[in-house]
Amino acid sequence: MTLFLSQNQNQVSIRPFQYRDLDQIERLCQQALSDVLIDPETDGFSLAAQDIQKLRSWYGFLKFLSWFPNPCQHLFNILVAEQEDQVRGVIRVSPFNWTRSTWRVNQVAVDPSGDRSSIGSQLLRYCFESIWEARNWLVEVNVNDQGNIALYRQNGFQRLAQITYWSVEPELLQQLAVTQPDLPNLLPVSNADAQLLYQLDTASMHPFVRQVFDRHISDFKSSVIKAVMEGFKQWFNHTEQISAYVFEPQRKAAIGYFQVQLSRDGRQPHFAELTVNPSYTWLYPELLAQIAHLTQDFPAQSLRLSSADYLPEREAYFEKMGATRIEHSLLMSRSVWHKVRESKLSLEGLQLSDVLQSLQPARKPIPSRVSWLGPMHHSRRDRNSPVADTLSGQSNAISEQPELESQNKPSDQASDHQRES
C-alpha cells in the first residue's frame, strides 16, 4: 500500500495552469528561459518572465475568453506539469493558421533540477494527443539551446528552416530615410486584398514550408472581433501597426508586402515583416526606405527583421545594408504521421480475418473451373470442341442421306427397265 502511494506521489499530472501557479511559472522562466527573443507574430502573451505580470493582471479576462469560440480563445493554452504539489514544467501552444491544422509550440520550460527529457516529453505528447485537429506542429528554438533541440528531436521534430534575426540601428534608419522610395502602387491592406496577399505568400515560400504552414485566404482576412482585439492590444502595449503592399497592374498581382509594428513610447524596438516575390528583389531597398520613413515619426529605436535560409537574396541585402545579426533560430516541424505511429491502438497488428469476421467462409471451398468469358465466346469455343465436331458430323450425315437416296433412285429405275425388257 505504501509503494502504491509513493508511486502516485511521483507521478506527473498535466493540467491547465491556474492563478496560484504564476509564481512557480515565473521561477521556471527565470531559470530556463532568460533572454528569450519575443516574436511579435506570436498571438497573445509570451511566457517570458517579464510578461508574468501581464498574466496576473488579465487572468480573469483571458480565462473568460477561453470558454467560448472567438479569435482570442486560444490565448490561454498554457499547461503545467505538477509533481508532488510543485510545478515541474510549463508549455504554451497556439494555433498557427486559421483552420487550426498547424499548431505551434511557443515555449517549453522545465525545472532544471528534474528530469528535463521525461517531463518535457510528457508535456509535448499530452498536447499531441489532446489537440486532435492538429496535423502539423511547429517550434522555433535557438540554435545554441542544445537541450531543447534534443528534446524536440526526441519527440519527432525535424529541421524545417533556419531563421536569422537582424537589427537595424537608428543611425542606419536615418540614412535609409534620406532616400525617397519609388513605390507608385503602394496600397493599404484590406480584406479585399486577401487573395493577392495569399498568392504572394505562396510564391515567396519554399514548397515544403508552404505545405507545413498550410495557409489559406482566411489567414489574410481580419474579422471585426479580431480587429477590436488587435486595437486593444496595440493600446495596451503602446504600439502602432501599419501594413501595405505593392500592386503590379500588368500582372494584376501583389509583388511586395510589409507590416511594421512601431513603438510609441520607445521602450521596445520596432518589428517589421517583409514578403517579396523572388522575381522582384529590387523591392527590398524601396520597402526598407519606406519603413525607415515611418519610423522617423516615432522615438528612435532599432528595427528588428528576420530572414530564412531559403531566401538568400534577402540575407545578402541585409548583409550589404549593414544590419547586425542578433540571433539564429531553428524552425522545426512535426507531422501527424508520427502521431499515428506512436498511438497504442495501432492498426499494424490487425489481420484481415480480425477485421472482416463476418466474411469468413462457412465451408471448405471446392475447386472448380471458372470462366469469365461471355456466352457468345462459349458458343464459338463449343463449335471448335471435339464434341461439337462429332455432333456436326452426325448432322451432316443425316442431311446427306436424302441426297444419296435421290441419287440412287434413277439407278434403280434403270435396273427395273432392263428387267422388263
pLDDT, tens digit (0-9, with 9 covering 90-100), for 181-233: 989 899 999 999 999 999 999 999 989 999 999 999 999 998 887 888 788 88
Domain boundary among 115, 134, 153: 134
Cell 482570442, residue located: 72
Percent of the chain with pLDDT over 90: 45
Q: From 8, 7, 29, 30, select the one nearest 17 (Cα to Cα).
A: 29
**Average pLDDT for residues 11-36, to the nearest whole number?**
75
CA 222 to CA 42: how far, in whole Å?
Answer: 16
Domain match, 59 and 98 both: yes
> Are 118 and 169 in the same domain?
no
Final residue belonging to a domain, choices 88, 118, 134 = 134
- Do residues 119 and 19 share a domain? yes
130/173 same-domain check: no
Q: Is residue 351 part of a domain?
A: no
Q: What SS3 state is found at 164?
A: strand
Please indicate, yes or no, whether residues 306 and 239 belong to a single structural domain of this protein.
yes
The answer to whether residue 37 scores a pLDDT higher than 50 is no
Residues 37, 113: one domain?
Answer: yes
What's the whole-number average pLDDT of the chain? 78
Q: What's the grid cell of residue 391? A: 455432333
Residue 322: per-residue pLDDT: 92
- Residue 291 belongs to a domain: yes
Does the pTM surpass 0.75? The reply is no
Domain assignment present for 192? yes
Whether residue 373 is contained in a domain is answered as no
> For the chain, what is the domain count?
2
Residue, of 35 and 395, whose pLDDT is higher: 395
Domain C-terminal end among 306, 336, 366: 336
Q: Are residues 8 and 128 in the same domain?
A: yes
Whether 227 and 115 share a structural domain: no
Residue 360 domain flag: no
In contact, 240 and 262? CB cutoff 8 Å: yes
The parent domain of residue 282 ranges over: 165-336
Predicted pLDDT of residue 224: 85
Please state, in angstroms and rounded to a whole number, the distance separating the CA atoms of residues 307 and 245: 18
Query: Buried b vs exposed e over 4-15: b needs ≥16 C-beta within 10 Å?
Result: eeeeeeeebebe
Residue 61 lies in a domain: yes
Alpha carbon distance 65, 298 (integer Å): 33
DSSP 218-246: GGG---HHHHHHHHHHHHHHTEEEEEEEE
Angle subtended at Cα 255 by Cα 273 and Cα 226, rounded to the nearest 5 degrees: 45
**DSSP string over 82-126:** EETTEEEEEEEEEESSTT-SEEEEEEEEE-TTS-HHHHHHHHHHH
Domain contains 267: yes
Q: Are residues 70 and 181 in the same domain?
A: no
Q: How many CA atoms lie within 13 A of 408 on its CB side?
A: 6
Place of cell 529541421: 159
Beta bridge partner(s), residue 16: 79
Does 115 share its domain with 177?
no
Cα-only R_g, the chain = 39
Is the pLDDT higher at 332 or at 348? 332
Residue 362: per-residue pLDDT:
57
The CATH number covering residue 57 comes to 3.40.630.30
Establish if 353 belongs to a structural domain.
Answer: no
Task: Note the pLDDT tens digit of each residue in 349-406.
Answer: 445 554 455 555 556 656 656 555 555 544 444 445 454 454 445 545 444 444 444 4
Residue 101 CA to residue 103 CA, distance in Å, equals 7
CA distance 1 to 69: 45
Q: Each residue of 275-291: b (16+ CB within 10 Å) or e?
A: bbbeeeeebbbbbbbbb
How many residues in total does the chain contain?
421
